[in-house]
Copies of this chain bind each other. A is one copy, B any other.
Amino acid sequence: MVSTTSSSQSDLLLAIEDQGHRHTETRRLVAEAIEASPESFTAEEICAQLPAVGRATVYRTLKLFLSADVLCKVTLPDGAPRYAIDTGGRHHHHSICTSCGAVSEFRASTVERVLRALEREVEGEITGHRMEIYVRCGKCQSGAAN
């Protein structure tokens, strides 16, 4: 058992506090809104849910969560960005359901293997990559419309 306390402290919040950032009411509100969001969400959705919090602050806070690796930012096929809670550990990739927006993570091992293979095919040294998998998730396949 890793966590037995019922302090109800948001994991998001804890993560940025661990990075030395202050615990503020505003950040708690943002974290709460994120945690209450289903699947994935947009920054503007959070802004709309928290009219008392400035737009800039919402973006700033999302950025903090991103850099603490507790939030991820994905890009839909049309280029629209969405955020989702990032539960996984180190390096991984995301699959996004284009129907409901659900984001899930998968281990990157297979991908890493490909990159190594590509190292022979690509001219130059690979310094990074970006990858997104678009899916139609189980729920959306079985469930009616959506």
Contact = CB atoms under 8 A, between A and B. Distances in A.
A118 interface: yes
A138 interface: yes
A20 interface: no
B98 A127 contact: yes
Contact-residue size bin, chain A (C-beta under 8 Å from the other chain)? 35 or more
Interface string A77-115: 100000000000000000101100000101100110111
A72 to B, nearest CB: 14
A123 interface: yes
B124 A77 contact: no
A118 B133 contact: yes
A121 B115 CA distance: 18
B110 A124 contact: no
A60 interface: no
A124 B106 contact: no
Residue among A104, A107, A121, A135 facing the most chain B CB atoms (10 A cut-off) = A135
Interface of A: 75, 77, 95, 97-98, 104, 106-107, 110-111, 113-115, 117-118, 121-138, 140-141
